[in-house]
Amino acid sequence: MMFKIVFLGTAGCGKTSLTYAFGEWLKEELDASISYINMDPGVYTTPYKPSYDVREIVTVEKLMEEGLGPNGGMIRAAEIIEENLGVICNEINSLSSDFILIDTPGQLELFLFRSMGPRLIEDVSRYSPTVSVYIMDPAIASSSSGLAISLTLPLITRLRLKVPTVSVINKSDMPEIYKVEKFLEDVLTLGQEIAREESGLIGDLASRYIQLLKEFSKSIRIVKTSAKTGEGMSDLYTIVHEALCECGDLM
Ligand SMILES: Nc1nc2c(ncn2[C@@H]2O[C@H](COP(=O)(O)OP(=O)(O)OP(=O)(O)O)[C@@H](O)[C@H]2O)c(=O)[nH]1
Ligand SMILES: [Mg+2]
């Protein structure tokens, strides 16, 4: 049976590194065959050798040579990818490995908020069970309001991609991880911290919002990973496997 796993998160959270680290772990521990997909038109080099690379169609570098700035280049690249999505999906669907790992563009909004991500995942998930992995970055999640954002984005990911979504905190080798863990252990502390930082209407809004997040996130298990040290790869496999079981795709 084949599975597809799509990695996404804010710029620099470790999508490319974790895609590779997890793929190599699957190869070694499960003796699985892996196809890596690069969907980032802006990346210069990838640690893995892609089985399909969207840079065959467009690169931001080329668009910038033609006169666009980095952001204009990314937007134009996203439009070109969207125009060619049928061909791209066919290429991905023609692969036959145990796991197809999909690495997404640096800018989360290009994949998630425009049509690229939802259309791609709708298509490829028709052929094999698909899970998304939302990667939190301690650089964002180690402040109280940053963690509120980091807990919200996986919910938005689930809403947009319509496939089971699991969350990880990557870069667990970094010292900021302790602060994130403290907040996660006690969401109440997180609410209090935000209320202390903000007063009046915003403080009130923040604490109600945290309450809402608490309700929606209570069954969510967030695992720690490090693409650098390899920590947490088996935990990541466990939650991905559980997510596939929940949607009835895996026995
Ligand atoms: N310490 C540490 N650094 C990491 C880890 N994972 C990634 N990095 C570093 O974070 C930076 C970004 O990593 P990438 O894997 O390129 O992240 P990305 O999300 O693919 O980045 P974009 O696609 O450019 O948004 C690099 O300098 C990595 O070496 C990790 O687990 N620990
Ligand atoms: Mg990347």
Total structural domains within the chain: 1
CATH code of the domain containing 137: 3.40.50.300
Is residue 46 assigned to a domain? yes
Whether residue 228 has pLDDT greater than 60:
yes
Tens-place pLDDT, residues 152-192: 999 999 999 999 999 999 999 999 998 888 877 776 667 67
Residue 212 lies inside a defined structural domain of this protein: no
Q: Write out the residue range of the structural domain in which residue 118 sits.
A: 3-143+163-173+221-246
The pair of structure tokens assigned to 219 is: 């069954």
Q: Cα separation of 128 and 226, whole Å?
A: 27
151: in domain: no
Angle, helices 144-161 vs 187-197, to 10°: value is 120
**For 6, phi and psi rounded to 5 degrees?**
-110, 130
Nearest-CA residue for atom 28 of ligand 1: 14
Residue 8 CA to ligand 2 centre (angstroms): 9
Residue 190 inside a domain? The answer is no
214-221: Cβ within 8 A, 24+ apart? 214/187, 216/155, 217/151, 217/155, 217/187, 220/154, 220/167
Task: Tell me the C-alpha distance between 26 and 190, whole Å.
Answer: 35
Mutate to test the pocket of ligand 1, among 7, 10, 17 (most ligand atoms within 8 A of CB): 17
Q: Which residues are found with C-beta within 5 Å of the ion, ligand 2?
A: 15-16
Is 42's C-beta closer than 6 angstroms to any atom of ligand 1?
no
Going from the Cα of 211 to the center of ligand 2, the distance in angstroms, rounded, reads: 33
Tens-digit pLDDT profile for residues 5-44? 999 999 999 999 999 999 999 999 999 999 999 999 999 9
Q: Residue 205: inside a domain, yes or no?
A: no
For residue 251, what pLDDT is reported?
37
Q: Which H or E element spans position 112?
A: helix 108-112
Q: Is 125 in the pocket of ligand 1 (CB under 6 A)?
A: no
What is the tens place of the pLDDT at every residue in 124-156? 999 999 999 999 999 998 887 788 888 899 999
Is 195 a domain residue?
no
- Tokens read off for 169: 């905190």
> For 31-107, where are the alpha helices, taking DSSP H only?
60-65, 70-83, 85-93
What's the number of CA atoms in the CB half-sphere (13 Å) around residue 208? 7
| Closest to 161 in 3D by CA, of 208, 198, 124 | 124
CB-CB contact of 126 with 88 (8 Å): no
Question: 78 with 105: CB under 8 angstroms?
Answer: yes
Ligand nearest to the CA of 168: 1
Burial of 225 (0-12, 13-18, 19+ CB in 10 A): buried
